[in-house]
Amino acid sequence: MLVDYKFCPRCAATLETVAIPKSSPFSRRKCAACGWIFWNNSRPTAGGLILDDQNRLMLIRRGIEPSLGLWDLPGGFLEPGEHPLDGCIRELLEETGAVVEPVGFHGVFMDTYGPNPDDHTHNTFYMCKVVGGEIAAADDAEELAWFAYADIPWTELAFKNVTEAVELWGGKPL
Protein backbone atom coordinates (compact mmCIF):
# COMPACT_ATOMS: atom_id res chain seq x y z
CA MET A 1 0.00 0.00 0.00
CA LEU A 2 1.41 3.39 -1.00
CA VAL A 3 1.50 5.96 1.77
CA ASP A 4 1.16 9.32 0.13
CA TYR A 5 3.84 11.31 1.95
CA LYS A 6 4.50 14.55 0.10
CA PHE A 7 7.88 15.84 1.27
CA CYS A 8 11.29 14.32 2.01
CA PRO A 9 11.95 14.15 5.79
CA ARG A 10 15.68 14.68 5.12
CA CYS A 11 15.76 17.60 2.68
CA ALA A 12 12.09 18.69 2.35
CA ALA A 13 12.02 18.35 -1.44
CA THR A 14 8.90 16.93 -3.07
CA LEU A 15 8.66 13.13 -3.23
CA GLU A 16 7.86 11.22 -6.41
CA THR A 17 6.35 7.77 -6.85
CA VAL A 18 8.61 5.15 -8.43
CA ALA A 19 8.83 1.37 -8.69
CA ILE A 20 12.04 0.13 -6.99
CA PRO A 21 13.31 -2.12 -8.45
CA LYS A 22 11.69 -1.26 -11.75
CA SER A 23 10.07 -4.70 -11.92
CA SER A 24 8.56 -4.36 -8.43
CA PRO A 25 4.78 -4.32 -8.16
CA PHE A 26 5.21 -1.99 -5.16
CA SER A 27 5.50 1.74 -5.66
CA ARG A 28 7.72 3.72 -3.28
CA ARG A 29 7.90 7.37 -2.46
CA LYS A 30 11.38 8.64 -3.36
CA CYS A 31 13.10 12.00 -3.13
CA ALA A 32 14.40 13.10 -6.52
CA ALA A 33 16.74 15.62 -4.84
CA CYS A 34 18.64 13.51 -2.28
CA GLY A 35 17.63 9.93 -3.11
CA TRP A 36 15.87 9.13 0.18
CA ILE A 37 13.34 6.31 -0.22
CA PHE A 38 10.35 5.53 1.96
CA TRP A 39 10.32 1.72 1.97
CA ASN A 40 7.22 1.47 4.15
CA ASN A 41 8.27 -1.85 5.68
CA SER A 42 6.06 -3.54 8.25
CA ARG A 43 7.17 -2.48 11.72
CA PRO A 44 8.75 -5.29 13.77
CA THR A 45 7.58 -6.29 17.22
CA ALA A 46 8.54 -9.12 19.55
CA GLY A 47 6.56 -10.69 22.35
CA GLY A 48 6.15 -13.77 24.44
CA LEU A 49 3.69 -16.42 25.47
CA ILE A 50 4.51 -17.01 29.13
CA LEU A 51 3.03 -20.13 30.71
CA ASP A 52 2.87 -20.84 34.43
CA ASP A 53 3.17 -24.24 36.10
CA GLN A 54 -0.59 -24.81 35.64
CA ASN A 55 -0.21 -24.24 31.89
CA ARG A 56 -2.00 -20.91 32.05
CA LEU A 57 -1.09 -18.08 29.67
CA MET A 58 -0.16 -14.61 30.86
CA LEU A 59 -2.12 -11.76 29.28
CA ILE A 60 -1.83 -8.08 30.09
CA ARG A 61 -4.57 -5.47 29.90
CA ARG A 62 -3.45 -2.56 27.72
CA GLY A 63 -3.13 0.78 29.46
CA ILE A 64 -2.55 2.70 26.22
CA GLU A 65 -4.17 3.15 22.83
CA PRO A 66 -4.66 1.50 20.45
CA SER A 67 -6.92 -1.21 21.87
CA LEU A 68 -6.88 0.43 25.31
CA GLY A 69 -8.34 -1.89 27.95
CA LEU A 70 -8.14 -5.05 25.85
CA TRP A 71 -6.04 -8.14 26.64
CA ASP A 72 -2.68 -8.42 24.93
CA LEU A 73 0.35 -10.65 24.93
CA PRO A 74 3.28 -8.83 26.53
CA GLY A 75 5.67 -7.46 23.91
CA GLY A 76 6.44 -4.36 21.93
CA PHE A 77 8.26 -2.65 19.10
CA LEU A 78 11.91 -3.46 18.50
CA GLU A 79 14.61 -0.85 18.88
CA PRO A 80 16.98 -0.20 15.93
CA GLY A 81 19.21 -3.22 15.39
CA GLU A 82 17.64 -5.18 18.24
CA HIS A 83 17.23 -8.93 17.77
CA PRO A 84 13.62 -10.06 18.35
CA LEU A 85 14.80 -12.45 21.05
CA ASP A 86 16.42 -9.57 22.95
CA GLY A 87 13.38 -7.36 22.34
CA CYS A 88 11.09 -10.06 23.70
CA ILE A 89 13.16 -10.43 26.89
CA ARG A 90 13.35 -6.64 27.34
CA GLU A 91 9.66 -5.97 26.74
CA LEU A 92 8.50 -8.80 28.99
CA LEU A 93 10.66 -7.48 31.83
CA GLU A 94 9.37 -3.92 31.28
CA GLU A 95 5.70 -4.86 31.14
CA THR A 96 5.45 -7.80 33.53
CA GLY A 97 8.50 -7.70 35.81
CA ALA A 98 9.29 -11.25 34.70
CA VAL A 99 12.80 -12.32 33.82
CA VAL A 100 12.07 -14.85 31.10
CA GLU A 101 13.95 -17.46 29.20
CA PRO A 102 12.59 -17.99 25.69
CA VAL A 103 12.34 -21.76 25.22
CA GLY A 104 11.12 -21.89 21.65
CA PHE A 105 10.22 -19.91 18.57
CA HIS A 106 6.45 -19.64 18.28
CA GLY A 107 5.70 -17.84 15.04
CA VAL A 108 5.42 -14.64 13.01
CA PHE A 109 2.05 -13.00 12.52
CA MET A 110 1.34 -10.06 10.23
CA ASP A 111 -1.11 -7.39 11.36
CA THR A 112 -1.86 -3.69 11.42
CA TYR A 113 -1.60 -1.40 14.45
CA GLY A 114 -4.46 0.91 15.38
CA PRO A 115 -6.93 2.60 13.06
CA ASN A 116 -4.50 3.21 10.16
CA PRO A 117 -4.69 0.23 7.75
CA ASP A 118 -1.29 1.27 6.31
CA ASP A 119 0.49 0.78 9.66
CA HIS A 120 1.65 -2.77 9.09
CA THR A 121 3.31 -4.81 11.83
CA HIS A 122 5.48 -7.94 11.72
CA ASN A 123 4.99 -9.68 15.05
CA THR A 124 7.41 -12.35 16.28
CA PHE A 125 6.54 -14.48 19.31
CA TYR A 126 8.50 -16.86 21.49
CA MET A 127 7.31 -19.39 24.05
CA CYS A 128 8.79 -18.29 27.38
CA LYS A 129 9.21 -19.50 30.90
CA VAL A 130 9.79 -17.31 33.94
CA VAL A 131 13.21 -17.71 35.54
CA GLY A 132 13.16 -14.70 37.89
CA GLY A 133 11.87 -11.25 38.63
CA GLU A 134 8.81 -10.04 40.50
CA ILE A 135 5.70 -10.36 38.39
CA ALA A 136 3.48 -7.28 38.32
CA ALA A 137 1.89 -5.23 35.55
CA ALA A 138 3.99 -2.18 34.65
CA ASP A 139 4.74 0.28 31.86
CA ASP A 140 2.06 -0.04 29.13
CA ALA A 141 0.29 -2.84 31.01
CA GLU A 142 -2.50 -1.93 33.43
CA GLU A 143 -3.31 -5.38 34.72
CA LEU A 144 -1.87 -8.85 34.41
CA ALA A 145 -3.67 -12.18 34.64
CA TRP A 146 -3.24 -15.87 33.89
CA PHE A 147 -5.74 -17.71 31.69
CA ALA A 148 -6.27 -21.40 31.02
CA TYR A 149 -6.88 -21.97 27.33
CA ALA A 150 -10.58 -22.66 28.03
CA ASP A 151 -10.87 -19.25 29.69
CA ILE A 152 -9.13 -17.07 27.07
CA PRO A 153 -11.19 -13.86 26.63
CA TRP A 154 -11.32 -14.19 22.83
CA THR A 155 -13.69 -11.27 22.26
CA GLU A 156 -11.48 -8.96 24.35
CA LEU A 157 -8.11 -9.68 22.71
CA ALA A 158 -6.33 -6.55 21.51
CA PHE A 159 -5.12 -7.55 18.04
CA LYS A 160 -5.63 -10.13 15.31
CA ASN A 161 -2.00 -11.24 15.68
CA VAL A 162 -2.60 -11.97 19.38
CA THR A 163 -5.65 -14.09 18.56
CA GLU A 164 -3.65 -16.00 15.96
CA ALA A 165 -0.67 -16.52 18.28
CA VAL A 166 -2.91 -17.76 21.11
CA GLU A 167 -4.83 -20.04 18.73
CA LEU A 168 -1.57 -21.55 17.50
CA TRP A 169 -0.53 -22.22 21.12
CA GLY A 170 -3.83 -24.04 21.57
CA GLY A 171 -3.30 -24.80 25.25
CA LYS A 172 -0.30 -27.08 24.76
CA PRO A 173 2.15 -27.33 27.68
CA LEU A 174 5.70 -26.04 27.17
Q: Identify which of 14, 52, 56, 21 has the alpha carbon closest to the alpha carbon of residue 39.
A: 21
Residue type, 134: E
- DSSP element (H, E) containing 91: helix 84-96
Q: How far is CA 127 from CA 18, 55, 142, 143, 169, in A?
A: 41, 12, 22, 21, 9
Residue 83 found at the interface with Zn ion (CB under 5 A): no
- Residue pair 28/20 in contact (Cβ under 8 Å)? The answer is yes
Segment lying near Zn ion (by CB under 5 A), choices 1-9, 19-27, 52-60, 65-73: 1-9
State the nearest-atom distance from the C-beta of 33 to Zn ion, in Å: 5
Report the residue number, 1 or 13, with the smaller CB distance to Zn ion. 13
Residue 8 found at the interface with Zn ion (CB under 5 A): yes
Residue 11 found at the interface with Zn ion (CB under 5 A): yes
Residue 92 found at the interface with Zn ion (CB under 5 A): no
Name 116's Cβ contacts closer than 8 Å, sequence gap at least 6.
none
Report the residue number, 38 or 77, with the smaller CB distance to Zn ion. 38
Residue 36 found at the interface with Zn ion (CB under 5 A): yes
142 labelled catalytic? no
Q: Identify which of 165, 146, 109, 101 has the alpha carbon closest to the alpha carbon of residue 128.
A: 101
Residue 57 found at the interface with Zn ion (CB under 5 A): no
Of 134, 143, 156, 164, the active-site residue reads: 143
Please pick, from the candidates 10, 19, 68, 148, the single residue that binds Zn ion as defined by CB under 5 A.
10
Contact set with Zn ion (CB under 5 A): 8, 10-11, 13, 31, 33-34, 36
Annotated catalytic residues are: 143
